[in-house]
Amino acid sequence: MLKPVTTDIEALKILDELLRWLSAWTIHHANHVRTSADGLKVGGHQASCASMTSIMAALYFHALGPNDRVAVKPHAGPVLHAVHYLLGTQSRETLENFRGLGGAQSYPSRTKDQIPVDFSTGSVGLGVAITAFSSLIQDYLTAHGMMDEADRGRFVALVGDAELDEGNIYEALIEGAKHDVRNLWWILDYNRQSLDATSVDRMFERFDEIFRTCGWRVIELRYGKRLKAALDANPKVKSWFETLSNAELSALHYQGGEAVRKRIEADLGKGVAAFLEAHDDMSLASLFTDLGGHCMESLVEAFDAAQDDVPTLFIAWTIKGYGLPFAGHKDNHAGLMNPTQMAAWREAMGVTEGREWEPLDSVGDNARPGVEALIDKSRIAREKRVRSFSQIEIPSIPAPSGEEQSTQAAFGRILLELAKDGGTLADRIVTTSPDVTVSTNLGAWVNQRGLFRREAVADVFAQQKIASAQKWSAADQGQHIELGIAENNLFLMLAAAGLAGDMFGTRLAPIGTLYDPFIARGLDALNYACYQDARFMLVATPSGITLGPEGGAHQSINPPLIALGQPGLRHYEPAFADELAAMMELAFRLIDDPHGESTYLRLSTRSIRQVERENDDWREGALNGAYWLRSPGHDSEAAIVAMGAVTPEALAAWEELREDIPGLGLLSITSPDLLHRGWTAAQAGRWSGRREASHIEQLLSQLHRHAGLVTIADAAPASLSWLGGVLGQRVAPLGVERFGQTGSLPDLYATYRLDGAAITEAAAEILLQIG
Ligand SMILES: Cc1ncc(C[n+]2csc(CCOP(=O)(O)OP(=O)(O)O)c2C)c(N)n1
Ligand SMILES: [Mg+2]
């Protein structure tokens, strides 16, 4: 859909100035006007904001359609707030409390800000890359008839030039190219400065090549109209200008017109006398700062001309701190204007002292109707969207049958059954994996539901009748999105898919699989997904040294500790298939619940004998983090506390020791994460008058108050050793603290002290201590 080219350039220029003022004033107010409670610098990035206000004015008051979503460069957050302040969707009070508790956040936040934020940003690079995955999810939803074509939009990332150093951008670019991603605008705020200094020149020539290679259109906005005309008329000056390094150009921007004149005279001599005579110093300074990213005509023209769905990189040349006293200075990243500088600017703008929050006052009567008309027009669809939940009917998920099973195999079978049975849940599931679909047991699901591609891709092996267990054809109705091996992309994909309900109104049930150790590879993107409250199921398998012959490079040790410290993600580590089925059912519910969260299932390839259950009493405990697999005797002096794949060793040791240690209990831990949360919440609750004991306190209080706990997990022992702190009981922690290695399970369990002998020794130790 083409947008009409009806721009009021003058009004947009005024809006640009208003945004620059408001963003700077918001930061200034927080640092120099608001009373400080602690004497700390509040901070903010006036220069990074000023670099982008023209681009954002052109977007928000002209180019963006109602369905377009924007990831704003983190340190331009105040500009986004200023946009909403002008639109009437941000309050002055919240701006006055910028970077304060409950105030506008320093970096745009979906969950914490009151204005509609399409994508949270903060960790540079991630906000850019996620737009590619959101666009893919939009394609997925429209292909599956879960979203109207008419509701489709474009995904815009406002990118700081130093963000291009983040490798995740290129991983996303490559993955995007494979999936023929579209409807993307990445707008580079090319101010040639990063945090520390001006950026290195050499790479820049290459960026456009990289993007073009990946199928992108690259549009460079180097010159504003005035500068372009002047340089075209003076080719010598043009070639001089184009050979300046980033640092030289930035320094000249900072130094101003007189320095520019001297430098041209020194470099070009008399040959350009006429050019220099035609300009005084002020006009020289103004001319050479007329870069493309600050020229409203150029921006509007470029945006209007790129209305198809081709992914497009705009390289908009800008000046960091444009229009501010420290424009172009290499140290301006965290620079703040002082009160005198702000007062001088206020006066120059015609803003009355005391009316700094009302800069529209300063807009002359002739221009004001035009400015207000643009603001009015832009209000469409910039309201905060309602989050959509409770859309998916979750059936009860039965445990797969079988006396011996691994949790990984059970996971595959549960998904297969869901795929075959059909229903809303099965249709809303979208699976994704970075090249470990088959080895994480997603294969049967994919055979049923197919790979997703906008354009169908045949399974050549199947066509050639070459036997294979795996169907590998793709079509737009497929439900598995296969990724290349880039775990960071997996988490960005889960973030995008896990926000489908918020972003597009249709909640998906995303499941991502990867090997447990490689969670670390995408950790920041995982944190980013959780920070935005994206909802998904993360299935990490295989895990631990239980992986045996695969060796130390693939055996994970610390992910349970990562999960213990990760908000928004619930860790479950089942030992048995029935526990897994219950956890998956709950995980799906949590995806579709306003108060839910994402779930991380740590699974194993070890096939173990399933326990016989007399009833369903275990279920609630298992979902709360622990239950007695073998109940302790009254006031028992000891318990074995085991998690996940090493539960058979714990059961065997329990059998062996129960005669020597009467009343010995066996506590099965399914989620140290939930137990810890419950424990601290109960402690906090007691200070506000609630007296309830947490789940783990209740379980452990069945033992003697000086009882000994032998904890065992195929993971860092600290995952469970903290349990001793709950009631002050003694702990002998068993677990893995050194890198793993290849070996059979008996050999490895003996070497790393995860076997029965280790449990017996630990129990003896702890009982001796009690004695
Ligand atoms: C992953 C990550 N590393 C470091 C930072 C700290 N940081 C914030 S902004 C920035 C540089 C920004 O430069 P650029 O992207 O060019 O933005 P500009 O301010 O110049 O517009 C850095 C290193 C961060 N926010 N995220
Ligand atoms: Mg920069």
Cα 273 to Cα 293: distance, rounded to the nearest angstrom? 29
Opening angle at CA 407, ends 676 and 740, nearest 5:
75
Q: How many CB atoms lie within 10 A of CB 445?
A: 27
Ligand 1 atom 12: the closest Cα is on which residue? Answer: 194
Pocket of ligand 1 (CB under 6 A): 48, 51, 73-75, 123-124, 160-163, 189, 191, 193-195, 320, 333
Confidence of residue 271 (pLDDT cuts 50, 70, 90): confident
Burial letters for 210-234: b for 16+ Cβ neighbours within 10 Å, e otherwise? Answer: bbeebebebbebbbbeebbebbeeb
Give the model's confidence band at 371: pLDDT under 50 very low, under 70 low, under 90 confident, else very high: very high
Q: Atom 7, ligand 1: which residue's CA is nearest?
A: 195
pLDDT at 2 over 80: no
Q: 455-514 pLDDT, tens per residue?
A: 999 999 999 999 999 999 999 999 999 999 999 999 999 999 999 999 999 999 999 999
User: pTM, whole model, 2 decimals?
Assistant: 0.96
Amino acid at 369: P
CB atoms under 10 Å from CB of 721, counted, come to 19
Q: Are 99 and 108 in contact (CB under 8 A)?
A: no
Which residue reads 């670019």 in tokens?
173
Residues above pLDDT 90, as percent of the chain: 93
Residue 514: φ, ψ to 5°: -160, 170
- Name residue 715's amino acid: A
Tokens of 264: 């041209």
Q: Are 134 and 69 in contact (CB under 8 A)?
A: yes
Structure tokens at 321: 């701190």
HSE-CB of 81 using CA atoms within 13 angstroms: 35
pLDDT tens-digit series, residues 211-223: 999 999 999 999 9
Residue 335, Cβ density class (10 Å: 0-12 exposed, 13-18 middle, ≥19 buried):
middle
Which amino acid appears at position 492 of this protein?
A: L
Q: Which has the higher per-residue pLDDT, 394 or 206?
A: 394
CB 652 within 8 A of CB 696: no
Q: What is the mean pLDDT of residues 138-151?
A: 96
Contacts of 202 (CB under 8 A, 6+ apart): none
Task: Tell me which DSSP letter residue 3 carries.
Answer: P
The stretches of 625-694 forming alpha helices (DSSP H) are 647-657, 672-687
Residue nearest atom 26 of ligand 1, based on CA coordinates = 123
For residue 387, what pLDDT is reported? 86
Q: How confident is the model at residue 768 (pLDDT cuts 50, 70, 90)?
A: confident
Q: Is a pLDDT exceeding 50 seen at residue 182? A: yes
Overall average pLDDT of the 621-644 stretch: 97
- Substitution site in 194, 315, 324 for ligand 1 pocket (most atoms within 8 Å of beta carbon): 194
- Distance (Å, rounded) from C-alpha 124 to C-alpha 402? 48
Residue 517 and residue 150: Cα distance in Å, rounded?
42
pLDDT band at 7 (very low <50, low <70, confident <90, very high): low
The residue with tokens 């369905």 is 67
The answer to whether the beta carbons of residues 632 and 700 sit under 8 Å apart is no
Beta bridge partners of 133: none
Taking residues 8-36, report their average pLDDT.
Answer: 96
Under 8 Å between Cβ of 140 and 430 = yes
770 pLDDT exceeds 90?
Answer: no
Confidence (pLDDT) at 152: 95
Task: Report the run of H or E that residue 667 belongs to, with start and end.
Answer: strand 665-669
Residue with tokens 């779930």: 599
pLDDT value at residue 767: 86
> Which atom number of ligand 1 is nearest to the Cα of residue 199?
16
Taking ligand 2, which is a single-atom ion, which protein residues have CB atoms under 5 Å away?
160-162, 191, 193
Nearest ligand by distance to the CA of 48: 1
* Residue-level pLDDT at 3: 40
Average of pLDDT values for 113-128?
A: 97
Helix (H) or strand (E) holding 628: strand 626-630
Q: What is the DSSP letter of 180?
A: T
Given a cut of 90, whether residue 628 has pLDDT beyond it is yes
Q: Which of 124, 128, 330, 527 to mutate to test the pocket of ligand 1 (most atoms within 8 A of CB)?
A: 124
> How many CB atoms are closer than 10 A to CB 205?
8
CB 261 within 8 A of CB 286: no
Average pLDDT score over residue span 40-66: 96
As a whole number, mean pLDDT of residues 267-287 equals 94
pLDDT digits 0-9 by tens, 501-560: 999 999 999 999 999 999 999 999 999 999 999 999 999 999 999 999 999 999 999 999
- Is the model's pLDDT at 719 over the cut of 70? yes
CA distance 641 to 624: 15
Residue 6 has pLDDT above 70, yes or no: no
DSSP state, residue 323: T
pLDDT digits (tens, 9 = 90+) for 742-766: 999 999 999 999 999 999 999 998 8
When pLDDT is cut at 50, 70 and 90, the band that residue 379 belongs to is confident
Confidence class of residue 690 from pLDDT cuts 50, 70 and 90? confident
What would the two tokens of residue 207 be? 């960026």
Least confident of 121-130, 178-187, 268-277, 592-601: 268-277
**pLDDT above 70 coverage of the chain, percent:** 98
Task: Give the nearest ligand 1 atom to 124 CA.
Answer: 26
In angstroms, the CA 132 to CA 122 distance is 17
Is residue 4 scored above 50 in pLDDT? no
Q: Quick one: which atom of ligand 1 is closest to the CA of 122?
A: 25
Distance between Cα 761 and ligand 2 center (Å): 60
CA 329 – CA 73 distance, rounded (Å): 20
